[in-house]
Amino acid sequence: MKILMVNYEFPPIGGGGGNAHYFLLKEYSRRADLRVDVLTSAQKPGFYCEGFADNIRIFRVGLHKKDLHYWRKTEVIEWLFKSWPRYKKMLAEGDYDLAHAFFGFPSGWLCCRTKKQLPYIISLRGSDVPGYNDRLCLDYKILSGTFRRIWASASAIVANSGGLADLALEFFGDGQIDVIPNGVDTDMYYPRSNYTNLKGKPKLLTVCRLVARKRINVLIKAVALLQETGIDAELTIVGDGNLMDELRNLAEELNVGRKIVFLGRTEPSNMPRIYRENDIFLMSSKHEGMSNAMLEAMASGLPIVTTLCEGVEELIDSSNGVIVTRADAREFAQAIKSLSEKPDFPQYCRNSRNKALEMSWARVADCYIKHYRCIAGDKG
């Protein structure tokens, strides 16, 4: 079976959607019955072909990309304009059985335009679902008709969490949206050799793009409140984005500049070590599909303190973390204090790891391949 995959972002460009695609391809590289071509983006103008594995090729359409983790609207339009002729050429020469669009838009727009030539499946990831990203409210209204056409023409639609599927159905109506959760590489991400109780100095970690939807300001304020109560917490923030300077300034204003470590963008090879060096993972997002970083933290044995958003209820319960009722710094501080003082804190760590062991990328790959076979069968 030969698949044409389309994703406007792929490492090093993008965030969770690109990373999920990368790990899915690692599983596909072990499948002798699959051949995959990926059409994606590059940071500099040009057209590039990379070998990912013997059965997988990556084709990159270069852009004038300013920030690896933040997409300007002009960049999305540039990618669509430049990718369309490349997509048509690949389609004419590739003899594909189906296409797989990561993100309904913009990636799915290419597939929708050739729906009569090639069936396609859509993976909804988050910001491609109306209502997910406040920054895109106007865009959702303007593009609502386009979104509906893209979704309605797909042979299958898949969301990466039940919460995201529900949000999508609020927009789409009564169509069928299946759920295939994200996975995690539990060999790459593993716990430290022993779990111990914390002694008043919890090392906190969050990993995300520094954009408004992630609400990192709440976590910085929570650290300041913890300092006031005598808990010497330190927060490490991994990731880059347009709010970096604003968040640094906030930490200084609250007199916790020395307690907030901004690592910026970090090489993926360094992440397993960073997870193991910390104690509790924090997430304050307004919306998520299903957080890859949260899964990686769980696989590394970190309990979680998080807001309630899509994908959380499938991963977190009272045995491995705390779900705060609202994105409030005081609630976060109280939850962190309570969790860090648990006499059975090591058990929370083990429970996180055990839940992650149930979420493998091999399982995700098998679920997608079942969809592929169904779609390819219908084509035949």
Structure tokens belonging to residue 236: 């490490």
List the CATH number of the domain containing 300: 3.40.50.2000
pLDDT, tens only, 60-97: 999 988 888 778 899 999 999 999 999 999 999 989 99
pLDDT over 80 (residue 299): yes
Domain membership of residue 193 (yes or no) is: no
How many domains, in total, are found in the chain? 2
225, 80: one domain: no
142, 77: one domain: yes
Domain membership of residue 191 (yes or no) is: no
Domain membership of residue 194 (yes or no) is: no
154, 26: one domain: yes
How would residue 295 be classed by pLDDT, with cut points 50, 70 and 90?
A: very high
169, 318: one domain: no
pLDDT top residue among 127 and 206: 206
- pTM, two decimals, is 0.79
348, 364: one domain: no
Domain membership of residue 189 (yes or no) is: no
Read off the pLDDT of each residue in 344-349 and give the average, rounded to a whole number.
94
Work out whether strand 56-62 and strand 47-53 pair parallel, antiparallel, or are unpaired: antiparallel
213, 89: one domain: no
Q: Domain containing 366: what range?
A: 2-183+360-379
Domain membership of residue 190 (yes or no) is: no
Domain membership of residue 35 (yes or no) is: yes
95, 142: one domain: yes
pLDDT top residue among 377 and 108: 108
Average pLDDT, the chain: 91
CB atoms closer than 10 angstroms to residue 272? 17
Domain membership of residue 16 (yes or no) is: yes
Read off the pLDDT of each residue in 263-287 and give the average, rounded to a whole number.
92
Residue 301 region, left (φ>0) first, then alpha (ψ -120 to 50), else beta?
A: left
Domain membership of residue 119 (yes or no) is: yes
pLDDT over 60 (residue 380): no
As a whole-number percent, the residues of the chain with pLDDT over 70 amount to 98
351, 364: one domain: no
pLDDT top residue among 234 and 164: 234
pLDDT over 90 (residue 199): no
pLDDT over 70 (residue 29): yes
Read off the pLDDT of each residue in 257-279 and give the average, rounded to a whole number.
93
pLDDT, tens only, 317-345: 889 999 998 889 999 999 999 999 999 99
Q: Residue 359: which of 316, 308, 306 has the closest Cα?
A: 316
What is each CA distance from 166 to 76, 104, 160, 311, in whole angstroms? 26, 16, 11, 11
pLDDT, tens only, 184-197: 999 999 999 888 88
119, 232: one domain: no
pLDDT, tens only, 205-245: 999 888 888 899 999 999 999 999 989 999 999 998 888 99
pLDDT over 70 (residue 289): no
22, 112: one domain: yes
133, 34: one domain: yes
